[in-house]
Amino acid sequence: MQYFLLFLVTLSSLFGAAKVVAVDERYQDSQSCKACHLRIVKEWDESWHSKSHYQNDEYFRKSLDYVSRKTRKSLNSVKVQCATCHNPRISVTSTDEDYEIAAVMGLDKGSEVDKAVNADSISEGINCVVCHNIDKIHDEYDASKRGINRVEWTKSGTMTGPFRDAKSPYHKTIHHEFMDKNPNKLCFVCHANDRSVNGVIFTNMQDEYVKGSKKCVECHMGEHRQDVAATYKMYDGKVKMRNVRHHGFKGAHTDTMWLHALRLSLKEKKNSLYITIKNPQPHNIPSGFGARELELTLTYKNGTNVIGKKTISLTTHYVRKKGKKTIPHLALKESENVSIAAHEKKVLKVSKMKGASSVEVVLNYVLVNEEVRSLLKLKGKNWSKRHFIAKKSLELK
Domains of the chain: 2-244 (no CATH), 258-395 (2.60.40.10)
Residue 16: predicted pLDDT = 39
DSSP letters along 83-142, please?
HHHHSTT-S-----HHHHHHHHTT--TTSHHHHHHT-GGGTTSS-HHHHTTEEEE-TTS-
Q: Could you tell me if 350 and 273 are in contact, meaning their C-beta atoms sit under 8 angstroms apart?
A: yes
Sorting pLDDT into bands at 50, 70 and 90, what band is 17?
very low
Could you tell me which residue, 289 or 239, shows the higher pLDDT? 239
Mean per-residue pLDDT for 197-212? 91
Average confidence (pLDDT) over 284-292: 91
pLDDT in tens, 329-376: 999 999 988 899 999 999 999 999 999 999 999 999 999 999 999 999
Which long-range contacts link 370-377 to residues 24+ away (Cβ below 8 Å)? 371/291, 371/315, 371/317, 371/325, 372/291, 372/327, 372/328, 375/66, 375/325, 375/326, 375/327, 376/59, 376/62, 376/63, 376/66, 376/327, 377/62
Paired residues of 345 in beta bridges: 278
Strand stretches in the chain, DSSP E: 134-137, 151-153, 158-161, 172-175, 194-195, 201-203, 225-228, 241-244, 263-269, 272-278, 293-302, 305-315, 318-319, 325-326, 333-334, 345-351, 358-366, 387-395
Q: Are 68 and 74 in contact (CB under 8 A)?
A: yes
Given a cut of 90, whether residue 21 has pLDDT beyond it is no
70-91 residue pLDDT tens? 999 999 999 999 999 999 999 9
Task: Note the pLDDT of residue 14.
Answer: 39
What number is the average pLDDT over the span 55-68? 97
Give the residue-averaged pLDDT of 142-166.
92
**d(C-alpha 141, C-alpha 133), whole Å:** 20
Higher pLDDT, 248 or 234: 248
What pTM did the predictor assign? 0.91
pLDDT of residue 4: 39
Structure confidence at residue 20 (pLDDT): 62
- Taking residues 89-104, report their average pLDDT: 93
